[in-house]
Structure 1
C-alpha cells in the first residue's frame, strides 16, 4: 500500500489533467490507497491532489473505494446549492451541484462504462471531476 502526500498547492491543483492510460494504473492504485488512508477525512480524491496530473478519481460507494480513469460527466439533473470541504483546502465553500449525474469512464482494466449516480456519491464525483478540470471550489 502506497500512501501519497496530499497536495495543497493551488497552482498544481488549478492545472487541467491529461488523459490517463494503461501506463498510469500504478498512480490509480496509489490514489485509491491514499483515499483509504484518509477515509475518515475524505469521501473522494483526484490524482492531482497527490501530485499526478492525470484524469483519475477515487471515491467511496458505501464501503468500496472505486477508481475511475478519464471520467466525463455527460448529463446532470436537479441542481442544488451546497457547501463542500476539500482535503486540499481549509474550510467549507459554497458550490452548485446536481443530484443526479451520468458518467462515462474507464475502469482499472481500461474497459469503458457509462453509469448513473445520485445524491452524495454524485456530489463527490462532481467535486473530483472538477479537480481533474483544474476547478477548485
Structure 2
C-alpha cells in the first residue's frame, strides 16, 4: 500500500528498532511507496513511511532491493556529495563512501551480503543513516 511520507524530524531522528519476521509486510509498503515516488526518489527507510523499524529499500538499476536489519560491514574511499530526501526540503552536504559491503536479511528471511559501489552504495548509506536516526 502507498504510504504518506513522514516529514516529522523528531520521529525521523529516532533510532529504528530491529525488524522481525512479523515485519515482512513492510517490504510491499516500501515497494509501493517507492514506485509511487520513483520520479523523485531512489530509496527509502521504513521510518519515512512512519514505521520505526530497520527496513530499507533501494532502487539498484531496475531492481528494488529490500533489506531487513542492514548493517555496513565495510566502507572505503570517502567522498563529499550533496543529497536530497523526500522527508526534508532541499539538499545538504554529506560524506559517503564509494565502496561498501552491506549485510542484511532479504525478503525470504535469509542472510545476504552485497558489495556496492557508486550511486547504489550512496543510496544504501543514506537509508541506513535513516535507520540510525541520522538526517543529512
Which band: TM-score by shorter chain? Answer: over 0.9
More strand by share: 2
Equivalent residue runs for 1:15-94 within 5 Å: 15-94=14-93
Q: CA RMSD for the aligned pairs? A: 0.6
Cross-structure match for 1:109 = 108
Cα drift, residue 64 of structure 1: 1.2
| Deviation per residue, 1:12-70 (Å, 9 max, x gap) | 10000011111001112101111111111101000000000000000101111110000
Q: Distance in 2 between matches of 1:51 and 1:86?
A: 15
Where does the alignment leave 5 or more consecutive residues of structure 1 unmatched? none
Structure 2 alignment gaps of length 5 or more: none
Q: String of CA shifts for 1:51-92, please: whole Å, max 9, x gaps.
A: 000000001011111100000001101000000000000001
TM-score by length of 1: 0.98
Moved segments of 4+, more than 2 Å: none
Matched length: 136
TM-score by length of 2: 0.98
Residue matched to 1:97 = 96
Give 1:6's aligned residue: 5
